[in-house]
A and B are shown apart, each in its own frame.
Chain A
Amino acid sequence: MSIFIDKNTTLIVQGITGRDGSFHAKQMMEYGTRVVGGVTPGKGGQKFEDSVPIFDTMHAAVAATGANTSVIYVPPPFAADAIMEAAAAGIKLIVCITEGVPVLDMTRVYPFVKEHGARLLGPNCPGLITPGESKVGIIPGRICTPGNVGIVSRSGTLTYEIVHQLTRAGIGQSSCVGIGGDPINGTNFIDCLAAFEADPNTRAIAMMGEIGGTDEQEAAQFIKDNMKKPVVGFIAGQTAPPGRRMGHAGAIISGSSGTAAEKIDAFKAAGMGVAQRPVDFVELISARLK
């Protein structure tokens, strides 16, 4: 068991002929992900790597393949449209890797995706992986190993770091999910925590946050109120200089400056384990799996 993707995931790669899209499409296929099609407008009818059919539109791709998931590697100006195209075509899980999507685009995309009953992961995220079954995105498959720890993170490379350290210590993962660091993203910490709580194969969760905003504090409250499984948290940016303030409005709306100290206090108040360094996850998670 796992969350969001497994061996039955069938994937369309949006932007499959681009530099990043083609590279990572190959990596996903080598990992064993069922890549059933790709989309690049104008290249419909061709084949990727002599095996994967390319379509001009998501509509055609979904009609021909019945895929349930898509991953997006298109440049930022086209990303919002690509997400909506996938949702309109009936895709149920849309993973947007693209970095640099304007946030006002996302204010329109978010309700559109919801109304179509789809889940969006990202944008500006590394995607997700269920070790040994399927990977959608860019998380290096070789650092993961199957197991019982759920991983959820706002960061990309920091997630790899911690997964890598867990794997080296012999601690496997049920699923690893990178939710992305943009102000408006499709899936948040709480969505993932709830899914891990319901997943019979997940026994403990490692959660990596960053300074800024209040998502981690809200997640801590959710953990306190709704979760039986143990969660260990980490906040990156404990020594970062205070960022530039967003006028008065930023402070008014959050009522918080989003410092590492505030977030760590919220973790402690929720009874979570707190990792000071990435490597501390190994010991803290091990203790909770016993």
Chain B
Amino acid sequence: MDLHEYQAKELMRTAGVPIPPGRIARTAEEAEAIATEYGVPVMVKAQVHAGGRGKAGGVKYCKTAADAREKAQAILGMDIKGLTVEKVLVTEAADIASEAYVGIIVDRATKKAVFMVSAAGGIDIEEVAASTPEKILYLPVDPRYGLQSFEALRMGFFLYSDAKLARAAGKIMQQLYTAFVNAGCSLAEINPLVVTPNNELIAVDGKMVIDDNELDRRPDIAALRDESSEESSEVDARNANLTFIKLDGDVGCIVNGAGLAMATMDLVKHYGGDPANFLDIGGSSNPEKVVNALRIITSDPNVKCILFNIFGGITRTDDVANGIVTATKQNPLKVPIVIRLTGTNEEIAMKILQDNGFSASSDMDEAVQRAVALAKGGAA
């Protein structure tokens, strides 16, 4: 789950990271009032789950409170990568002497949380990593001991030769690591970490991504989810415990397992069709999940044919068959359905489907070809 900048900063601030004061405005008037309260200059920053906000014109420097109102007016309602800006962060503008990058990510290779720090921060940090890798220090943290003082200080001195700044940066590393662990992050970034002309460090931008698997045990973090900034069908699917990504095609796919779901989409394309979505009903399914999946898929007017591809392991295919029967009794289908189903309890599932007037096949290529033909309006 992505957090907004203002949410990530609040969690970092709680852990002690120095963050310039800032507050959320939903109207231009609120933005002006906040700017007046803080004193100018301020930054007005779009709060959407998209990178490249600055390049899209969603981050502006404002010299006066009236300027803040005008800029907020322009940014609110703006479309950034398909997302509508509904709120802006108004925050004190910092004078910048230098910009550093500090990131923590859970790394597959070392199987640890790894710090990455560079004195060459800012928006071109990926370019720095690619062309001058020696400018980045990587430091894996042993989760059993946590980040040690000497490790934090080593990163501090990698960024700054001035001992006072190095110590202050080391402290921020420890605070950021605490925030990272406490929120159950898979990623936390400060970019840039700024040295002001007064030789003080502040975190001007912050980003956090929360591991979805942490949310059940961290209700305070789960409550930060902003459903207004997500595709509504994706919100609906998540609330039904399904993984769903909407696409532009017309073959609605309902599959169990991410790998098979992707392979099914690949095969739809291979046979000349276009998938309408990625939908994984996951393992350990119950009939309710299938009912919800069908409801979500059929609410997309682009869908011309529904393709089930179920290979039962922990998913019992009879659960899926019962779900199909229940869902189609509640809401009769308006588009054709192709069912491919095999694996655990397959015999029971086939009987349930046949008793209710459905046909099903056990061959994936055959089912996909049939679904593609039906979506194109052809005969099965």
Contact = CB atoms under 8 A, between A and B. Distances in A.
B187 interface: yes
B125 A248 contact: yes
B104 A184 contact: no
A273 B269 CA distance: 21
A51 interface: no
B186 A103 contact: yes
Give the one of B136, B216, B255 with max A CB within 10 A. Answer: B216
Nearest to A161: B311
Given A104-B211, A252-B126, A99 B313 contact: no
A138 B313 contact: yes
Give the one of B108, B116, B247, B256 with max A CB within 10 A. Answer: B108
Interface in A98-154: 99-104, 106-108, 110-111, 126, 138-140, 143, 153-154
A224 to B, nearest CB: 19
B55 interface: no
Given A248-B189, A252-B136, A100 B258 contact: no
A277 B143 CA distance: 41
B143 A100 contact: no
Contacts of B334: none
A290 interface: no
Interface residues of A, number: 66
Contact of A246 (B113, B138, B181, B187): B187
A184 B259 contact: no
Interface stretch (A2-10, A40-48, A52-60, A236-244): A236-244
Contacts of A106: 111
Contact of A154 (B112, B259, B314, B365): B259
A104 B114 contact: no
Interface in B259-300: 259-260, 262-263, 265-270, 275, 278, 282-284
A116 B343 CA distance: 36
B259 A210 contact: yes
A23 B314 CA distance: 9
Interface in B282-327: 282-284, 311-316
Contacts of A183: 106, 108, 186
Contact of A253 (B114, B143, B284): B114
A247 B190 CA distance: 11
B335 interface: no
A67 B298 CA distance: 49
Contacts of B168: none
Give the one of A19, A104, A279 with max B CB within 10 A. Answer: A104
A183 B87 CA distance: 33
Contact of B143 (A108, A153, A160, A248): A108
A200 interface: no
A249 interface: yes
B1 to A, nearest CB: 11
Interface in A153-203: 153-161, 164, 181, 183-184
A183 B113 CA distance: 12
Interface of A: 19-20, 23-24, 27, 76-77, 97, 99-104, 106-108, 110-111, 126, 138-140, 143, 153-161, 164, 181, 183-184, 208, 210-211, 213-215, 234, 236-241, 244-255, 276-279
Interface of B: 2, 51, 101, 103-109, 111-114, 116, 125-126, 129-130, 136, 138, 142-144, 181, 184, 186-187, 189, 191, 207, 209, 211, 213-214, 216-217, 245, 247, 255-260, 262-263, 265-270, 275, 278, 282-284, 311-316, 342-344, 364-365
* Nearest 9 Cβ contacts at the A-B interface: A155-B259, A157-B257, A158-B259, A157-B260, A249-B103, A236-B262, A249-B105, A237-B262, A107-B143
21 contacts: A20-B284, A103-B106, A104-B184, A108-B143, A111-B111, A111-B144, A126-B313, A153-B259, A155-B263, A156-B260, A158-B257, A160-B313, A164-B311, A181-B258, A241-B245, A244-B2, A246-B187, A248-B191, A252-B103, A252-B129, A277-B365
